[in-house]
Amino acid sequence: MPFPFEEIVAGFRTQRALVVGDICLDRWCAYDPEAGEPSRETGIPRTAVVASQLTPGAGGTIANNLAALEIGQVAVLGVLGEDGHGWELRRALAGRGIDHQLCVTHPGVCTFTYTKLLNRKTGEEDLPRVDFINSTPLPPEAEQELANRLRRNAAEFDVILVSDQAETNAGGVVTAAVRECLASLAHEFPEKVIWVDSRLRPELFRNVIVKPNQDEAEAACARALGKADFAALRALTESPLLVVTHGGRGVLLVREGAEPMMVPTDPVAHPVDICGAGDSFSAGASIALSITRDPVAAARFGNLVASVTIMKKGTGTASPQELRAQLGRHSLA
């Protein structure tokens, strides 16, 4: 079957996408190793940051990819703190045309932030990352308000993407209450694409499309089933579609009543940076699925988007123009 690239791209402007969950700030800080003299007060060498770039991270990376694809409407729903990082995150989102008005602000929350330290001489990230995380559960009133805003606004969007990225024991903002809300919305709006990317908890979602990578899917199987069985994991989650990414090999699609199907991708010999590849895949594949209702075409399109973004430093994005150029070098053409 021909790959419906033009049909997908032509449909971008009609799509409305909401990214729910861990919306964080990425701080890319260049430091000068030659300016790291010891502190006068403590004698501890300083890390001398000389430049920084601020971008949306985690669920914000998905939103950034959607905006780069020129999707008609892109919004985010998360919980941010009343802190400087929250202000910077809102500015980074707004600068990319991403609506952050649905986000909940709470004084008891630290805005989820990754600080990545890159050596100005080499361009490499060679010092430990400095992360601002929440080590306690989400305040109940923030959790309730998040679920309420999701429920009230879900009907306005064609695609709801869920970013469950926090890796602390307390988790992030995608709590049990949010998962229950998502399961309910999936029943209420069966035509809506609800797409979940969860690092540590794929087995806890119900009725929605679940997209772990191979390692995450196998770990979820081990926790829930005691063995690696992707078909059984799909059945447990009652998912209409389990999407398991396998890096350069492609994507495994697991559906009820059908044999699992591997959708291959063209391997990239020397990727520049695979950070964020799963997020760019999710952005492209979920929108393509909403437009075509074809999981195979969606997986192929997601693979195409990721093949562009992994050739960029950091959490890159892909524009429609870049995708069209990449298509000419791709086996889908």
* pLDDT per residue rounded down to tens, the chain (333 residues): 689 999 999 999 999 999 999 999 999 999 999 998 888 899 998 999 999 999 999 999 999 999 999 999 999 999 999 999 999 999 999 999 999 999 999 999 999 999 999 999 999 999 999 999 998 999 999 999 999 999 999 999 999 999 999 887 777 899 999 999 999 999 999 999 999 999 999 999 999 999 999 999 999 999 999 999 999 999 999 999 999 999 889 999 999 989 999 999 887 777 787 777 899 999 999 999 999 999 999 999 999 999 999 888 877 889 999 999 998 876 665
| Residue bearing tokens 């991270």 | 57
Residue 126 maps to a domain: no
Determine contact, residues 278/245, Cβ cutoff 8 Å: yes
Residue 19 maps to a domain: yes
Tell me the HSE value of 328 on the side-chain side, using a 13 A CA sphere: 5
pLDDT tens, position by position, 56-104: 999 999 999 999 999 999 999 999 999 999 999 999 999 999 999 999 9
pLDDT of residue 331: 64
| Residue bearing tokens 């990214």 | 19
| Residue bearing tokens 């997209």 | 211
Residue 37 maps to a domain: no
With vertex at residue 20, the alpha carbon angle to CA 16 and CA 22, rounded to the nearest 5 degrees, is 140
* 128 residue type, one letter: P
Phi, psi for residue 156 in degrees, rounded to 5: -80, -10
Residue 316, domain CATH: 3.40.1190.20
CB atoms within 10 A of CB 38: 10
Residue 16 maps to a domain: yes
Range of the domain at 90: 5-23+56-113+132-327
Residue 81 maps to a domain: yes
Which residue, among 211, 52, 188, 217, has the nearest Cα to 130 in the 3D structure? 52
pLDDT of residue 332: 60
Residue 279 maps to a domain: yes
DSSP annotation of 144: H
Residue 120 maps to a domain: no
* pTM for this prediction: 0.94
Residue 75 maps to a domain: yes
Cβ within 8 Å of residue 192, ≥6 positions away:
154, 157, 158, 159, 160, 185, 186
Q: Tally the domains of the chain.
A: 1
On average, the pLDDT of the chain sits at 94
